[in-house]
Structure 1
Amino acid sequence: MTDSLTLNNGVLMPAIGLGVYQTPPAETVTAVQTALEVGYRHVDTAAAYLNEREVGEGIRRSGVAREDVFIETKVWITDYGYDQTLHAFEKSAKKLGVDQIDLLILHQAYPAIFDKTIEAYKGLERLLADGAVRAIGVSNFGPNHLDRLLNETSVVPAVNQIELHPYNTRAEERAANAVRGILTQAWSPIGGVRHYNGDEKSPLTDPTVQTIADRYGKSTAQVMLRWHVQEGRSAIPKSVHRERIIENLDVFDFALNDDELRQIDGLHIGGTVDTDTLDFGSFGIEIDEA
């Protein structure tokens, strides 16, 4: 199983990337620098994470050449619209300290203003045509959102980044992505604590995952990341701890068998939101102009 994936426009993307969601700016520089020094070549951030500047600084401090790092970021909904999205690219590129962004995606569908969502994606298409970005995509889009988008635009998204882990396997969304030639990328790929019928559960402590992990001498996080990679997905784990950053990338020296993959697939409990109907709103996040 390869450590890179080919997007629908031929661009290669490392399968495992470092995520920096909710990573404080003060810790982001070190986390990114560490990740690149130990072998990561893919970093996922977003304008709404408010740490793009620190991601750029971490890349520069790592000493890894810019052309060897796959940078992914997201346009926030307050910047939706054609001209606004072109400007959002300029802001992100400036903060990251780069001329070109490898993958630029819309952070989520916004049903209340889906016309502006469409216009924002058309802005991404323009950036792609101009060479300002190497690939474009979406995040948190359900099948209905994809249908509406594809009916009014020309470029099929290269990626749809969605919450996906063994307790929420998103079979319908994965199938919708696959039939359209869209790569599924998992945020929260190893889960974390979720509430199901009032009980706190986490795939990290699931007995089935733990049994498989013990069999290979790996952690439960590594088993889940291997599960993603073997099923052809990109995964974006996050950590600020050096040992965990190293561990999360060390998933290419073993392989799960078909029965183990089926066991993990069978852990699905379900999500708490319907991506196709939820109106996320802006959450009050405003992106500064500087």
Structure 2
Amino acid sequence: MTIPALPLAGSSVSMPLLGFGTWQLRGDSAYQAVRDALEAGYRHLDTATMYGNEAEVGRALRDSGVPRDEVFVTTKLPPERAGDERATIDASLRDLGLDAIDLWLIHWPPSRGRSVKTWREFVKARDEGLTRAIGVSNYGPDEIDQLSDETGERPAVNQIRFGPALYDAGLVAAHRERGVVLEGYSPFKTTNLHDPALTGIASAHGVDPARVVLRWHIQHEIVVIPKSATPERIARNADLDGFELTPDEMTTIDALGRR
């Protein structure tokens, strides 16, 4: 599997366009799924404090034998932990068994106008070497601008719910104009995989519609983090070599966002 990566602003790291999501995976199921993902070739793992599986993700990474510097690891601060940023990242690092994470995100905008104050703590954590890059999740462009305008530091990434049915060229452009990498979660839940547009394109390439959706993200240079607990599906979702969507096919899939 050959997956390209995007450089992240304000850091020396690049983020693989395909990652493995771990939301709703807990305990032994989380551990085994991450082991299966690393075996299948994923080199980008996405977790969060609120997922309750950082210890399993970290243990799976260690047990996999894959060198730490080959895997990009993301975790996230719950909004209710605004004000306890340092204690939260220290706990994440301890549970993951890492000296530093590659990307730390504010999971949702904190209430009562705490975003800027929290963001300043994120900048401090990055400057202290606890995380290599910092970003946000579930933010709008205006909220990103507020962080940048008030601190002089823009988020490297914004992780949002995304997929073909939610495609918005204006939103994608807004992130590109700001130098913010767009990352999509729940790519399959947001899109009807039985849509004739997707099944027809999938048939033409001899793949399943899920892989068409993932390939569409990658060709748009939008990071995508599919999740599964099934070894066969985990491996299949990583098998994205050997086919490329044509410009017309990309346009057809883009149009799903205007229905």
Which amino acid is 1:97 matched to?
A: G
Structure 2 counterpart of 1:77: 79
Q: By how many angstroms is 1:10 displaced?
A: 4.1
Which amino acid is 2:200 matched to?
A: T
CA–CA separation in structure 2 for the residues paired with 1:140 and 1:59: 27
Which amino acid is 2:98 matched to?
A: V
CA contact (8 A) 2:126 2:132 kept: yes
Q: Deviation digits for residues 20-73 of structure 1, max 9, x if unmatched?
A: 011122300000011111211110000011111111111112111112111100
Q: By how many angstroms is 1:269 displaced?
A: 5.1
Greater CA drift, 233-242 or 251-260: 251-260
> In structure 2, the residue corresponding to 1:251 is in which secondary structure?
coil
CA–CA separation in structure 1 for the residues paired with 2:12 and 2:67: 21
Structure 2 counterpart of 1:52: 54
Q: Which runs of 5+ in 2 are unaligned?
A: none
Q: Deviation digits for residues 211-243 of structure 1, max 9, x if unmatched?
A: 000000011010010000001111000001111
Residue number among 191, 206, 223 corresponding to 1:234 in the alignment: 223
CA–CA separation in structure 2 for the residues paired with 1:206 and 1:14: 28
CA–CA separation in structure 2 for the residues paired with 1:25 and 1:140: 26
Structure 2 counterpart of 1:5: 6
Structure 2 counterpart of 1:117: 115
CA–CA separation in structure 1 for the residues paired with 2:13 and 2:168: 25
Structure 2 counterpart of 1:68: 70
Residue 253 (str. 1) matches residue 242 (str. 2): yes
Q: By how many angstroms is 1:253 displaced?
A: 2.2
Q: By how many angstroms is 1:203 displaced?
A: 2.2
CA contact (8 A) 2:144 2:154 kept: no
CA contact (8 A) 1:163 1:189 kept: yes
CA contact (8 A) 1:164 1:188 kept: yes
Structure 2 counterpart of 1:166: 164
CA–CA separation in structure 1 for the residues paired with 2:167 and 2:161: 9
Q: By how many angstroms is 1:267 displaced?
A: 0.4
> Structure 1 or 2: larger helix share?
2
Structure 2 counterpart of 1:273: none
Structure 1 counterpart of 2:144: 146
Residue number among 40, 45, 62 corresponding to 1:38 in the alignment: 40
The alignment yields a C-alpha RMSD, in angstroms, of 1.5
CA contact (8 A) 1:74 1:105 kept: yes
CA contact (8 A) 1:72 1:102 kept: yes
Structure 2 counterpart of 1:103: 103
Q: By how many angstroms is 1:122 displaced?
A: 0.8
Structure 2 counterpart of 1:21: 23
Q: Deviation digits for residues 238-272 of structure 1, max 9, x if unmatched?
A: 001111111111113211111100000000158xx
> In structure 2, the residue corresponding to 1:252 is in which secondary structure?
coil
CA contact (8 A) 2:175 2:182 kept: yes
CA contact (8 A) 2:136 2:158 kept: yes
> In structure 1, the residue corresponding to 2:167 is in which secondary structure?
coil
The two structures have a TM-score, normalised by structure 2, of 0.95
Structure 2 counterpart of 1:216: 205
Q: Which runs of 5+ in 1 are unaligned?
A: 193-201, 271-290
> In structure 2, the residue corresponding to 1:204 is in which secondary structure?
coil
> In structure 1, the residue corresponding to 2:123 is in which secondary structure?
helix
> In structure 2, the residue corresponding to 1:138 is in which secondary structure?
strand
Structure 2 counterpart of 1:87: 87
Q: By how many angstroms is 1:2 displaced?
A: 5.1
